[in-house]
C-alpha cells in the first residue's frame, strides 16, 4: 500500500459519490503540491489538506455507519495534529462503544474500502472503549499516537468517554516512560547528534518527531512548561514551520513518504524555499545553516524538558526536583480527599511533599472537617495503607502534621500538638514522642543506610515486624496510644475512648478494632512486667501470655513497647531493657505456642458460659459445648464468635469418614476449614491435597479434641489462581480432599508430578532446625521446626511423624517470608514420646529437611 | 563508712530502695547491669533454637552508709531482694576511706 502513489489509483468502484470525493482529493493534493512548489508547504497548507481528508473521512464514515453510529472515528498522530503531508499515512482509530457484531464488520468495510480505493495510505485500528481501561504495554507507538487523537465524525460523547478513560495518571506515566525510551532508540542510529549532513527531517535528533516529543512531554506532565523553556516557544513554531515546509518538498520530490534531506535534494529545496545566493552551493549552505539552527533549538528544548519535566505519579500529582506536588493546586484545594495521595506518592517515590503543596494544604485544611478526608471506603483503606511501616513514613507523617493535615484528619491527634506532659522521663512533646515511636517501627522495617548496620539486637525485633499480618494496625495503635494525654486524667483509658470514635470514622472492621484497642489499652503493660515484675516466675509469664492471648498480638505489643520506650528519650531504651523485653517476649511466645495444649476449654469456664449466653438461635448449647469442650482455650482467642459458630455448624452430623469443608476467599488469600474425625495420616493428607493443587500454605491451626474431633484451618495463597479462574475448581478440590481423606486416592502420587518440577529450584536459605521438647507441655511432645518454605513441606513433615507412629494432635503453622515455622504437638499411643522415639523422629525429620525433597 | 553494693533482680529494686529509705539511707546510685553468678545464665529456646542467655539483666544499687548502719542495711537488702530462687543476687561491703561533697568541698565525717 505504501508504495502505491495516490492520484494514480483506480477510481473508486464507479460510484458517482466516490468520484466526487476523488475530485476533492485531487484538488486538495494539487493545492498542497502548488503551495509546496512555492516553498509554502508548511503548517497552514498541511492543515488545509488535513481538513479535506477530514471531509472525505466524515462523508464515508457517515455513509457507512449512518447518522447515529455507536462509533467515532479519530485522527491520530501527525494527522491528529493536522500535519498531513502529501504521502503521510492517514492514521485512524475507529472506536466502538462495545463489542463489534457482524453488521459492524460489514459497515466498517464499507467505510474503509473506499478510502483504500482513493489510494490513501490508511493506518487504521478498530477498538472498543473497554480496551483502554487497561494499559496496552506492548504497543507504545499506538498509545502515543492517541495523545493527538481528534474526532472527525461519529459519536462525540463516545470520544469524551474515551478521553476520560485514556487520560489517567498511570497511563500518562507509562506513556512518558515509553516516549523517552522510544526517543532514545530513535536517536541511536543517528549517533544521537543533530549535526547530520543528510538529515532525516522527521526522525533525526532535532527533527519533527523530537518536536512532537517536546509537546507530548509537556502535555503528559505540565503544559505550563511550554511557556518556560530554554528559548521562546515561538522558536519551536518557527522550527516546525521550517521542517514541515522542507518535508513537504521531500514528499513532492520523491512522490513517496521520504524524509531524508539528501545532498541531491538540498539544492532543489534551497531553491524552492527561496534562499538567496549566486551559486547553488551558497543557497544550500544557507538552507543547511537554517536547518541546524532549528534542529539545535528543538534538541535543546527536548533536552531541557526531559530534565525538568515532572513525572506523573498519580491523579493531579507529579514528582519534581523539590518533591511531589499537585499539578493543579486549584483543583486539589477543593478535593481534600485527594491530599493523602500526595503523601503516599512521596513515600512511593522516596521523596518529600513539596513546600508549595504543603503551603497549599495548610492554607485550605481549615475549611474541611475530618469527614471530608475519609469520604469513602477507598479513602479509608488508603489511609491504613499509608500507615504501613516503610522508609519515609515518619518524615511524611511529620510533614502532614506540620501542615496541619494530620490534626484535621484526626482532630484527637491535633489536640496533642506540642502538648507538654511533665515527668522525669519524657524529653519530647507528646505528638513528637508519638511520631518518633513510629519512626522506630519504620526503622525496623527499613533500617537506615547510616550510621551503620542495624545492631543484631534489633534484627530480632525486625523479624517480628516482618511476621505481622497487618503492621499498619501497629502504626495506627502507636499513632493513637497517647492521644488521651490531651487531658490530664488517666491517659490510657482516655486514649481508648477517643480511639473508639476514630475507629467509627475509619469504619474499621471489628477484628482490626479489637487489635488496635487492645494495644492502646495495654500499651504500658509489657514494659511494666518486663522491667518491674519477676519474669522468672512462670506465673508472671503465664498471666502475661493469657493477657495477650495469641502470638500476633504478643508481637505487636512487644514492638509497640519497644517503640514507645525508645521514643521517650535517647537514653531510655538501654540494651539492658531491650534484653528484658526480648526475654519476656520469648517466654510468653513459648507459653503461647508450646504450653497451650494443656489449657482446654471445659464446661465450668466463664468464657464458655458467655459464649453460650449470646449464641445464635439455630445453635443449641449442647452442640456448642460438645464442639468446644476439649479444644485448647486458645481457640476462643483465635476466632471470633461468627467464625466459631460457623465451625460448630460445620461439625454437625460428622461421622468417621465424612469430611465437612468450607473454602472462602479472604483478601488475597484463601481459607480452608476442615472438620472431620481423627485418623492416621489425616493432617499430612489434608496438607498434601493443598500442595497437590499448588497452594502455598501461609498459616494455620490444627486442633484435635479428646473425643477425636478434628478442626483444621489453613490460610493459603493460590498463585496459579486455580480456584478463582475455574468455575468447577471448588467442587474438584473438595472431591479430591474427600477421596484422599477417605483413602480412595493416594495423595503421594498426586504430589509427585508437582514436586519434581520444583526440586532443587533454589539453594536452601534457612538452616533447618528440628527441636523436640518433652517439658513445655504436660500432655504432648512438642516438635518445633524452622525450615525453608517449600511446596509440600507440611505434608512431608507430618507424613514422617505418622510413619513413626505418632498422632499429630495440634499444629501451629506460620510463615515469615520464605521461612516456615511449624509447631507440632504429638503423642505416641496416647503418651509423650520416649527419649529414643524423639531422637529417631528428630533424626528422620532433620534428614528430610536437609535432603529438601524426599518423596517416598 | 562502708560502700554497700547490691546486685539484685530488676523487679526488686523498688523494694530494696524502700527498705533502705526506711533506714534513712538517702543517697544511692542505681545502675542497669548484666552479669551472672554461680548459675552462669541459662539456656532459652526460641523457635526450636537454643540460645544461651549467659549475662542476665540485673540492677546494681550502691549506697555509702556509716558503719553503725551497715548491718541493718545488709539485712534490709537481703530481706527485700530475696525470693529464695537461684539468681537473687549478691551484697558486697567495702570500706570507704574518705568522702567529699563536691558542691561545698566539705568532707563527710562518718
Among A532, A771, A785, the residue with its CB nearest the CB of B45 is A771
- List of chain B residues whose C-beta atoms are within 8 Å of the C-beta of residue A784: 45, 47-48
Q: pLDDT digits over B23-63, tens only?
A: 988 789 999 998 887 766 667 788 877 777 777 889 999 99
CB contact under 8 A, A786 and B49: yes
Look up the CATH number of the domain holding residue A280: 1.20.120.330
**Pair (A162, A257) in one structural domain:** no
Cell of A780: 504432648
The mean per-residue pLDDT over the stretch B70-77 comes to 96
Interface touch A770/B49, C-beta < 8 Å = no
Q: B2-95: what CATH class? A: alpha beta
- Would you state the pLDDT for residue A761? 52
Chain A CB within 8 Å of residue B83 CB: yes
- The separation between CA A589 and the C-alpha centre of its own chain, rounded to angstroms, equals 33
Boundary (domain end) residue, out of A251, A286, A309: A309
Q: Per-residue pLDDT tens for A409-465?
A: 999 999 998 888 877 778 899 999 999 999 999 999 998 876 655 677 788 999 899
Q: How many domains are there within chain A?
A: 4
Measured CA distances, A654 to A647, A651, A660, A709 (Å): 12, 6, 8, 9
Which range of residues forms the domain containing residue A714? Answer: 653-851
Q: Where are the alpha helices (DSSP H) in B1-110?
A: 13-22, 67-81
DSSP secondary-structure letter at B110? -
β strands within chain B, DSSP E: 2-8, 29-35, 42-46, 49-53, 56-65, 89-95
Same domain, residue pair A831 and A696: yes
Residues on chain B touching A531 (C-beta within 8 angstroms): 10-11
Q: Do A792 and A693 lie in a common domain?
A: yes
The SS3 assignment for A660 reads strand
What is the per-residue pLDDT for A447?
85
Establish if A842 touches chain B: CB-CB under 8 angstroms. no
pTM score of the predicted model: 0.73
Complete edge-to-edge strand list for the sheet that includes strand A709-717 = A660-666, A669-677, A709-717, A696-704, A807-816, A819-827, A781-788, A769-773
Judge contact between A310 and A327, C-beta under 8 A: yes
> Among B14, B37, B43, B48, which would you mutate to test the A interface (most chain A Cβ atoms within 10 Å of its Cβ)?
B48
C-alpha grid cell, residue A716: 493459603
- Phi, then psi, of A120 in degrees rounded to 5: -75, 145
Tell whether A146 and A46 lie within a shared domain: yes
3-state SS, one letter per residue, for A516-581 = HHHHHHCCCHHHHHHHHCCCCCHHHHHHHHHHHCCHHHHHHHHHHHHHHHHCCCCCCCCHHHHHHH
Residue A835 lies in a domain: yes
Nearest Cα residue to A430 out of A454, A442, A412 = A412
Rounded Cα distance, A613 and A537, in Å: 36
Q: Are the C-beta atoms of residues A438 and A394 closer than 8 Å to each other?
A: yes
**A819 touching B (Cβ < 8 Å):** no
Q: Which residue has the cell 549506697?
A: B63
Is residue A507 domain-resident?
no
Does one domain contain both A146 and A54?
Answer: yes
Instruction: For residue B85, give how far its alpha carbon lies from the nearest alpha carbon of chain A (Å).
Output: 9
Which residues of chain B neighbour A786 with C-beta distances below 8 Å?
47-49
Q: Which three cell numbers stand for residue A745?
A: 486416592
Whether residue A499 lies inside any domain: the answer is no
Q: Please state, in angstroms and rounded to a whole number, the distance separating the CA atoms of residues B59 and B13.
A: 7
B48 and A CB contact within 8 Å: yes
A798/A660 same-domain check: yes
- Closest approach of B98 to chain A, Cα-based (Å): 32
Q: How far is the C-alpha of A563 from the C-alpha of A553, rounded, in Å? A: 15
Residue A395: closest CA among A433, A343, A339, A431: A343
> Looking at the structure, do residues A635 and A668 belong to the same domain, yes or no?
no
Find where cell 477421596 sits. A739
Picking from A132, A167, A202, the residue at the C-terminal end of a domain is A167
CATH number at A92 reads: 3.30.460.10
Does the residue A527 lie in any domain? Answer: no
A410: alpha, beta or left? (left if phi > 0; alpha if psi -120 to 50): beta
Contact status of A769 with chain B (Cβ, < 8 Å): yes
If asked whether residues A699 and A796 sit together in one domain, one would say: yes
A81 and A25 together in one domain: yes
Which residues have C-beta within 8 Å of that of residue A783, sequence separation ≥ 6?
A770, A771, A772, A773, A801, A823, A824, A826, A841, A842, A845
Count of CB atoms within 10 A of residue B96's CB? 15
pLDDT at A8: 41
Q: Are residues A735 and A617 in the same domain?
A: no
The answer to whether residues A71 and A218 belong to one domain is: no
Note the pLDDT tens digit of each residue in A355-378. 999 999 999 999 998 888 887 888
Same-domain status, A199 and A160: no
Indicate the residue among A309, A344, A370 that finishes a domain. Answer: A309
Identify whether A225 is part of a domain: yes
DSSP bridge partners of A126? A94
Question: Is A489 a member of any domain?
Answer: no
Note whether residue A218 is domain-resident: yes
Residue whose grid cell is 460489514: A106
Mutate to test the interface with B, among A459, A586, A813 (most CBs of B within 10 A): A586
Q: Which residues of chain A carry a pLDDT beneath 70?
A: 1-17, 450-454, 755-764, 852-856
ipTM of model over 0.90: no
Cβ-defined contact of B11 to A533 (cutoff 8 Å): yes
Residue A133 resides in a domain? yes
Q: Is B49 within 8 Å of chain A by CB?
A: yes
Amino acid at each position: 500500500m505504501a508504495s502505491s502513489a495516490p492520484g494514480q489509483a483506480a477510481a473508486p468502484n464507479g460510484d458517482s459519490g466516490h468520484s466526487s470525493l476523488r475530485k476533492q482529493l485531487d484538488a486538495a493534493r494539487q493545492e498542497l503540491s502548488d503551495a509546496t512548489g512555492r516553498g509554502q508547504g508548511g503548517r497552514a497548507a498541511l492543515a488545509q489538506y488535513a481538513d479535506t481528508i477530514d471531509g472525505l473521512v466524515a462523508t464515508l464514515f457517515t455513509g457507512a455507519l449512518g447518522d447515529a453510529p455507536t462509533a467515532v472515528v479519530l485522527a491520530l498522530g501527525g494527522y491528529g495534529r493536522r500535519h498531513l503531508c502529501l504521502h503521510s499515512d492517514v492514521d485512524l482509530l475507529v472506536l466502538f462503544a462495545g463489542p463489534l457484531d457482524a453488521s459492524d464488520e460489514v459497515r466498517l468495510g464499507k467505510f474503509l474500502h473506499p478510502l483504500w480505493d482513493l489510494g490513501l495510505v490508511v493506518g487504521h485500528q478498530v477498538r472498543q472503549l473497554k480496551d483502554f481501561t487497561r494499559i496496552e504495554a506492548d504497543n507504545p507507538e499506538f498509545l502515543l499516537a492517541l495523545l493527538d487523537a481528534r474526532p472527525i465524525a461519529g459519536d462525540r460523547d463516545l470520544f469524551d468517554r474515551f478521553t476520560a478513560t485514556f487520560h489517567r495518571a498511570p497511563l500518562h506515566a507509562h506513556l512518558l516512560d515509553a516516549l523517552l525510551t522510544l526517543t532514545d532508540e530513535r536517536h541511536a542510529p543517528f549517533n544521537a547528534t543533530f549535526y547530520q549532513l543528510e538529515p532525516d527531517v522527521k526522525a533525526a535528533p532535532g527533527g519533527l518527531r523530537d518536536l512532537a516529543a517536546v509537546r507530548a512531554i509537556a502535555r503528559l506532565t505540565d503544559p505550563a512548561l511550554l511557556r518556560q523553556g530554554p528559548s521562546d516557544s515561538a522558536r519551536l513554531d518557527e522550527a516546525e514551520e521550517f521542517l514541515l515546509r522542507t518535508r513537504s518538498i521531500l514528499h513532492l520530490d520523491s512522490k513517496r513518504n521520504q524524509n531524508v534531506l539528501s545532498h541531491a535534494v538540498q539544492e532543489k529545496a534551497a531553491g524552492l524555499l527561496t534562499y538567496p545566493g549566486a551559486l547553488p552551493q551558497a543557497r544550500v549552505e544557507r538552507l543547511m545553516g537554517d536547518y541546524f539552527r532549528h534542529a539545535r533549538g528543538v534538541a535543546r528544548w527536548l533536552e531541557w524538558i526531559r530534565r525538568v519535566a515532572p513525572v506523573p505519579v498519580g491523579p493531579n500529582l507529579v514528582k519534581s526536583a523539590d518533591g511531589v506536588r499537585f499539578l493543579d493546586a486549584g483543583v486539589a484545594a477543593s478535593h481534600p480527599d485527594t491530599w493523602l495521595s500526595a503523601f503516599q506518592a512521596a513515600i512511593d517515590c522516596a521523596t518529600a511533599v513539596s513546600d508549595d503543596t504543603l503551603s497549599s494544604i495548610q492554607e485550605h485544611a481549615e475549611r474541611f472537617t475530618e469527614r471530608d478526608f475519609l469520604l469513602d471506603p477507598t479513602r479509608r483503606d488508603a489511609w491504613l495503607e499509608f500507615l504501613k511501616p516503610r522508609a519515609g513514613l515518619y518524615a511524611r507523617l511529620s510533614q502532614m502534621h506540620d501542615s496541619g493535615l494530620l490534626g484535621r484528619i484526626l482532630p484527637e491527634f491535633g489536640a496533642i500538638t506540642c502538648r507538654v506532659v511533665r515527668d522525669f522521663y519524657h524529653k519530647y512533646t507528646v505528638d513528637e514522642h508519638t511520631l518518633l515511636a513510629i519512626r522506630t517501627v519504620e526503622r525496623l522495617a527499613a533500617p537506615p543506610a547510616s550510621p551503620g548496620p542495624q545492631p543484631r539486637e534489633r534484627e530480632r525485633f525486625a523479624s517480628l515486624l516482618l511476621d505481622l499480618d497487618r503492621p499498619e494496625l501497629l502504626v495506627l495503635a502507636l499513632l493513637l496510644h497517647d492521644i488521651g494525654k490531651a487531658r490530664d486524667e488517666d491517659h490510657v483509658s482516655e486514649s481508648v475512648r477517643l480511639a473508639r470514635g476514630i475507629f467509627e470514622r475509619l469504619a474499621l472492621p471489628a477484628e482490626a478494632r479489637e487489635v488496635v484497642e487492645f494495644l492502646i489499652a495495654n500499651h504500658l503493660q509489657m514494659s511494666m512486667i518486663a522491667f518491674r515484675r519477676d519474669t522468672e516466675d512462670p506465673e508472671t509469664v503465664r498471666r502475661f501470655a493469657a493477657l495477650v492471648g495469641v502470638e500476633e498480638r504478643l508481637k505487636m505489643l512487644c514492638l509497640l513497647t519497644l517503640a514507645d520506650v525508645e521514643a521517650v528519650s535517647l537514653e531510655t531504651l538501654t540494651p539492658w531493657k531491650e534484653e528484658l523485653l526480648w526475654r519476656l517476649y520469648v517466654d510468653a511466645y513459648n507459653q503461647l505456642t508450646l504450653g497451650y495444649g494443656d489449657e482446654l476449654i471445659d464446661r465450668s469456664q466463664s468464657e464458655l458460659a458467655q459464649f453460650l449466653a449470646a449464641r445464635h438461635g439455630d445453635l443449641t448449647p449442647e452442640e456448642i459445648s460438645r464442639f468446644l469442650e476439649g479444644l485448647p482455650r486458645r481457640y476462643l482467642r483465635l476466632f471470633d464468635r461468627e467464625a466459631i459458630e460457623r465451625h460448630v455448624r460445620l461439625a454437625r452430623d460428622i461421622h468417621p469418614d465424612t469430611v465437612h469443608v468450607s473454602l472462602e476467599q479472604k483478601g488475597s488469600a484463601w481459607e480452608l476449614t476442615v472438620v472431620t474425625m481423627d485418623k492416621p495420616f489425616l493432617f499430612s493428607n489434608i496438607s498434601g491435597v493443598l500442595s497437590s493443587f499448588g497452594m502455598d500454605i501461609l498459616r494455620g491451626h490444627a486442633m484435635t479434641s479428646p473425643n477425636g474431633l478434628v478442626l483444621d484451618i489453613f490460610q493459603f495463597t493460590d498463585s496459579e489462581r486455580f480456584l478463582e479462574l475455574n468455575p468447577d475448581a471448588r467442587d474438584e478440590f473438595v472431591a479430591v480432599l474427600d477421596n484422599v481423606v477417605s483413602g480412595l486416592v493416594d495423595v503421594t502420587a498426586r504430589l509427585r508430578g508437582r514436586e519434581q518440577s520444583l526440586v532443587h529450584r533454589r539453594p536452601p536459605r534457612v538452616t533447618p532446625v528440628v527441636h523436640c521438647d518433652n517439658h513445655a507441655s504436660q500432655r504432648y511432645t512438642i516438635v518445633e521446626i524452622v525450615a525453608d518454605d517449600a511446596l509440600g513441606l507440611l505434608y512431608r513433615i507430618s507424613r514422617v511423624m505418622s510413619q513413626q507412629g505418632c498422632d499429630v494432635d495440634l499444629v501451629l503453622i506460620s510463615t515469615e517470608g520464605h521461612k516456615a515455622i511449624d509447631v507440632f504437638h504429638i503423642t505416641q499411643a496416647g503418651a509423650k514420646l520416649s527419649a529414643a522415639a524423639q531422637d529417631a523422629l528428630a533424626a528422620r525429620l532433620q534428614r528430610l529437611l536437609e535432603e529438601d525433597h524426599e518423596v517416598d | 563508712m562502708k560502700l554497700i553494693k547490691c546486685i539484685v533482680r530488676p523487679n526488686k529494686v523498688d523494694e530494696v530502695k524502700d527498705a533502705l529509705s526506711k533506714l534513712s539511707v538517702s543517697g544511692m546510685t542505681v545502675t542497669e547491669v548484666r552479669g551472672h553468678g554461680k548459675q552462669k545464665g541459662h539456656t532459652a529456646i526460641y523457635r526450636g533454637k537454643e540460645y544461651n542467655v549467659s549475662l542476665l539483666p540485673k540492677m546494681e544499687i550502691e549506697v555509702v552508709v556509716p558503719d553503725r548502719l551497715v548491718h541493718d542495711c545488709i539485712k534490709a537488702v537481703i530481706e527485700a531482694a530475696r525470693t529464695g530462687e537461684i539468681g537473687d543476687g549478691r551484697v558486697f561491703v567495702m570500706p570507704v576511706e574518705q568522702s567529699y561533697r563536691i558542691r561545698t568541698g566539705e568532707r563527710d565525717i562518718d
